[in-house]
Structure 1
Amino acid sequence: MTAPKRLPPWHEHFRLPSGRELLIRPIRPEDAGPIQGAFSLLGPDEIRQRFLYAIKELTPEMAQRLAQPDPQTEFALVGAEPLPPGEALVGAVARASISPRTRDAEFAILVSHFIAGQGLGRHLMRKLVKWARSKKLDRLYGDVLDSNLPMLQLAQSLGFKRVRELDTPGLVRVVLDLNEGA
């Protein structure tokens, strides 16, 4: 009997309650094409909740930038079909980026409505928290539309606190103190 094949760091299989199997893994440059192609499948609310404003398309340049995070200051995971990068449909992207000259990182998560509500966003957020702690950061934060109740509830359930740092109506910042309970 052989031992199960070990996955590389930050890779794992994730089964949704619907039975669909995803591979959680770091984003790869080859994912830019599938991410750009899948952008048209997103609804206007999904786009507004992730980008905080309406955009009509994800340009090739934007997709390439998203798919090539700076390993020193950025971290991005995808929830994708268990196929090779470039071939796999990407259903979710989670990203954290260290703010310049701080020990804080900003997060963003987008889970397609096709697989939303099945625990993937929570799982990805926990991975971002784990990464931020591994970088010995102080805070992980994100700006969320106050109408995005699922994201606000998820953040609160994971210990994020609402902070009124923004002067933008309709937007709330959620912050996790990474030194609490560590």
Structure 2
Amino acid sequence: MSARNRLPPWHERLRLANGREILIRPIRADDAGPLKASFPLLQPEEVRQRFQHRVKELSDETLQRLTQPQPKTEFALVAAEPLPPGEALVGAVARAAIAPGTRDAEFAILVSHYVAGMGLGRHLMRRLVRWAKGKKLDRLWGEVLEDNQPMLSLLDSLDFRRESAGTPGLVRVVLDLSPSSARKTSAGRGEGPRPPG
């Protein structure tokens, strides 16, 4: 591979099952405009599954927090058209953030119905796991609506375990990343830090 064809870290070109070529890359501040503009195109069920309640638009504060992650504690990828940030339509976002004072990160993924069912959620989830392992974290966790069976099945296949989220209708899913956290889990949840909830 020649140097001019080499992609920067965390960049990857993919061709989806429908033939569309996308670029997976770290999110950029310039993605805020396209994200805000395309949010109303999401179906209500997609929004509910990601935010767990109705959201009509992304606030400027939310967009800034999402598109300008803190490099030491946050990581966010997008699956977008292979165009410059700010021009590219974003079809999916995957994010992980380390909870302060812990070695645990919470994840969230939103895949638009335009590119759903093509393995993109699995691909992005694996990238979040890779990032979390690179940070030597103990756990990666998230909360998923119990009726979001496609997401729960995907996470089951990636060895996440299910726990009670303490909120009706939600399931907490946890992936143990270190041998010590796996031992603590088998010994009981009374030891060690608990993912914030």
Identify whether the pair has TM-score above 0.5, normalized to the shorter chain: yes
Residue 64 of structure 1 is matched in structure 2 by 64
Unaligned residue ranges in structure 2 (runs of 5+): 183-197
SS of equivalent to 2:155: helix
- State the 1:4 CA deviation: 5.9
TM-score (norm 1): 0.95
1:14 paired with 2:14, answer yes
Kindly tell me: are residues 170 and 8 of structure 1, through their superposed partners in 2, closer, same or farther at Cα, counting changes over 3 Å?
Answer: same
Residue 112 of structure 1 is matched in structure 2 by 112
Unaligned residue ranges in structure 1 (runs of 5+): none
Runs of 4 or more consecutive aligned structure 1 residues displaced over 3 Å after TM superposition: 1-4
Moved more, 62-71 or 142-151: 62-71
Residue 127 of structure 2 is matched in structure 1 by 127
- State the distance in 2 between where 1:19 and 1:154 align: 23
TM-score (norm 2): 0.88
SS of equivalent to 1:174: strand
1:176 maps to amino acid: L
Number of residue equivalences: 180
Residue 92 of structure 1 is matched in structure 2 by 92
Residue 172 of structure 1 is matched in structure 2 by 171
SS of equivalent to 1:100: coil
SS of equivalent to 1:114: coil
- State the 1:25 CA deviation: 0.1
- State the distance in 2 between where 1:70 and 1:3 align: 29
Moved more, 43-52 or 123-132: 43-52
* CA deviation map 1:24-56 (0-9, x unaligned): 000000000001111001111111111111111
1:142 maps to amino acid: G
* CA deviation map 1:49-87 (0-9, x unaligned): 111111111122221221000111100000000000000
Please give the root-mean-square deviation of Cα atoms over the aligned residues, in Å: 1.5
* CA deviation map 1:97-142 (0-9, x unaligned): 0011110000000000010000000000000000000000000001
- State the distance in 1 between where 2:94 and 2:43 align: 18
- State the distance in 2 between where 1:96 and 1:2 align: 32
- State the 1:146 CA deviation: 0.2
- State the distance in 2 between where 1:39 and 1:122 align: 22
2:96 maps to amino acid: A
Please identify which structure carries the higher helix content.
Answer: 2
Give identity over the alignment, percent: 69
Kindly tell me: are residues 103 and 3 of structure 1, through their superposed partners in 2, closer, same or farther at Cα, counting changes over 3 Å?
Answer: closer
SS of equivalent to 2:5: coil
- State the distance in 1 between where 2:65 and 2:98 align: 16
- State the distance in 1 between where 2:57 and 2:151 align: 23
